[in-house]
Structure 1
Amino acid sequence: MRTGLGEASGDFEAEAASGAGDEGHAAPLGKPVQYRHRRFLSWRYRTEAEPSCQPRRALLLPEKALCPRTERISAMAQNIYDQPAFFEGYSSLPRSVHGLAGAAEWESVRALLPDLAGRHVVDLGCGFGWFARHAAAEGAESVLALDLSENMLARARAETQSLAVRYEIADLDTLELPAAGFDFAYSSLAFHYIADFDRLVRIVHAALVPGSSFVFTIEHPLYMAPSRPGWAEVDGRTVWPVDGYLVEGPRTTDWLAKGVVKYHRTLGTTLNALIAAGFVIRHVEEWKPSEAQLAAHPEWQVELNRPMFLLIACERP
């Protein structure tokens, strides 16, 4: 029986959806609502607690990021994770339960990370906060963890003890960050839900100090491109039919709910956006299960027929 990574793990697009892919953002079922921060205006050391915020030790954080108001604007923010039935289903998926250890690609991602000790980290699409807590445990000086979902952030805050981690609501499609405010940026399985990738990577580049690293994962374009994604049997072979690969733009699929929207970009478009923003690409990996994973999960053998994840590490010169 054909199962593959997603079906075998009960994590069909959570293996490919966020965050924090256990983290990421999906399409709204009802009226589109978008949340946006007020502009990050300045930086300063803060030691006092602010209204509705838990106390923090002195952290170098954007002043306006600490307790931002959110405003509703009429744009298509993908915030299906705050829909109760969807959130309940997503919360039961393996990477939502087991965190980084439950993400099949985690060991490959971890190999790309720099030493996080003393770093000021921004986690884009942090979801339940698994990576934010990992960064803090590895000695990060501060972690600003951003997500659109209030449900995700509520659980992340409840499960985080470290004073180094700060969670905030933010929409990555309209994100603004302070210039040269961080020395490491990270995202897991969130960017394929972003309409304007070019803008986002320019924002990230400007927010990093020279010499910083940027590591992120997305669904592989071959996984995302088909109009009807799924395995098929052709002449006794299991294949992943691909159509419309060179036709970039939104793709709508059903996963835990109807009408989840993602944005397909070719591999070339993704890499060229990073180059145009000023990044130097250090590593590109079309992820596949390791021999050890295949031994533990023989049903994942089918995953060798096409990559599910794309892992990218780059530097800000």
Structure 2
Amino acid sequence: MEFRGSSVYDQTDFFTNYMNRRNRKDSPNNAIEGPIMTELIGNIQNKAILDLGCGDASFGKELLQLGARHFTGVEGSEQMVEAARFNLLKLDATIHKETMESYQYPSDSYDLVTSRFAIHYVSDINRLFQNIYQTLKEDGKFVFSIQHPLTTSSFASKQAGDKRGNWIVDDYFRDGERKEPWINQVVVKYHRTIEQYFMALRQAGFTVVDLREGTPMREHFSSEEEFVRRQRIPVVLAFGCVK
């Protein structure tokens, strides 16, 4: 069975295993992607923030504690929505049980739109980026991360298991669906080149002001072995954009 979008996170075993992986100190989310997103986002004092594919909203809780004015999360998984609402109890936040494709984007409403490791589940990024552009206020920022296209081009190397010993990069310029064996399930993602992401952002009206490929930094890892392993291939691609 294949899972699209956020539907796989409503599988109980998958959800539990994913959260255990996600919360490891040396996970790519925490050791690589998190510090980059924090740097690209910058000052959030009194900002209204929209987070697409917000998951359990632990990121939203962090943003509110750092001074954001209001947090709006969009999440398609029922289990993630329940976790998000629990994490944000008594905080100035709203969680919508929607996908980022179905969400009705209000015009000129947010100072910052974020998305972390979620946009590679979306089939039509041109429409998505246009919606994000119109929901941002003038000079608003759009900061997002995705799985690096070098790793989504082919999942043949995962035949040896999730912890790949070697990496196969193939069919890089053939965009479209990829079926990834992940945590005992098959998840559909969409592969695109870095150039395609850049051009879609430009066509939507954004100015791309920063791009990061997730260079590992030793101070963010507790394990020397994991730090060395993560130097082999980029697993994160992050963009900083302005309306």
TM-score by length of 2: 0.89
Structure 1 position 302 matched with structure 2 position 243 = no
Q: Partner residue of 1:312?
A: 239
Q: 1:100 to 1:159 in 2, by over 3 A?
A: farther
CA shift, 1:101, in A, is: 8.3
Q: 1:302 to 1:100 in 2, by over 3 A?
A: closer
Runs of 4+ in 1 over 4 A off after TM superposition: 96-101
Out of 18, 43, 47, the residue aligned to residue 119 of structure 1 is 47
Q: 1:141 to 1:294 in 2, by over 3 A?
A: closer
Distance 1:89 1:257 in 2: 10
The sequence identity of aligned pairs, in percent, is: 28
Structure 1 position 159 matched with structure 2 position 87 = yes
Moved more, 291-300 or 121-130: 291-300
Distance 2:60 2:70 in 1: 9
3-state SS of 2:231 partner: helix
Out of 58, 74, 79, the residue aligned to residue 7 of structure 2 is 79
Distance 2:126 2:11 in 1: 28
1:127-156 alpha-carbon deviations (Å, 9 max, x no partner): 010111112112211111110011011111
Q: 1:198 to 1:101 in 2, by over 3 A?
A: closer
Q: 1:164 to 1:146 in 2, by over 3 A?
A: same
Cα RMSD after superposing both structures: 2.4
Q: Partner residue of 2:202?
A: 275
1:204-237 alpha-carbon deviations (Å, 9 max, x no partner): 00000111111100000001101414499xxxxx
Distance 1:270 1:174 in 2: 21
Distance 2:219 2:24 in 1: 22
Distance 1:294 1:82 in 2: 30
Q: 1:107 to 1:97 in 2, by over 3 A?
A: closer
CA shift, 1:297, in A, is: 2.6
Distance 1:98 1:301 in 2: 12
Distance 1:117 1:98 in 2: 28
CA shift, 1:306, in A, is: 1.4
Distance 2:204 2:117 in 1: 20
Q: Partner residue of 2:101?
A: 173
1:31-50 matches, cutoff 5 A? none
Q: Partner residue of 1:8?
A: none
Does the aligned pair in 1 maintain the 2:5–2:188 contact within 8 Å?
A: no
Does the aligned pair in 2 maintain the 1:288–1:307 contact within 8 Å?
A: yes
CA shift, 1:90, in A, is: 1.5
- Count of aligned pairs: 238
Residue identity matched to 1:79: S
5+ unaligned residues in a row in structure 2: which ranges? none
3-state SS of 1:281 partner: strand
Distance 1:96 1:153 in 2: 21
Higher helix share: 2
Out of 51, 65, 73, the residue aligned to residue 145 of structure 1 is 73
Structure 1 position 129 matched with structure 2 position 129 = no
Q: Partner residue of 1:214?
A: 142
Structure 1 position 189 matched with structure 2 position 117 = yes
Q: Partner residue of 1:235?
A: none
1:17-74 alpha-carbon deviations (Å, 9 max, x no partner): xxxxxxxxxx52xxxxxxxxxxxxxxxxxxxxxxxxxxxxxxxxxxxxxxxxxxxxxx
TM-score by length of 1: 0.69
Q: 1:100 to 1:156 in 2, by over 3 A?
A: farther
CA shift, 1:256, in A, is: 1.5
Q: Partner residue of 1:254?
A: 181
CA shift, 1:166, in A, is: 0.9
Residue identity matched to 2:120: H
Q: 1:98 to 1:82 in 2, by over 3 A?
A: farther
Distance 2:28 2:93 in 1: 17
Out of 17, 25, 41, the residue aligned to residue 89 of structure 1 is 17
Does the aligned pair in 2 maintain the 1:250–1:263 contact within 8 Å?
A: yes
Distance 2:28 2:98 in 1: 22
CA shift, 1:97, in A, is: 8.9
Does the aligned pair in 1 maintain the 2:25–2:31 contact within 8 Å?
A: no
Q: 1:81 to 1:204 in 2, by over 3 A?
A: same
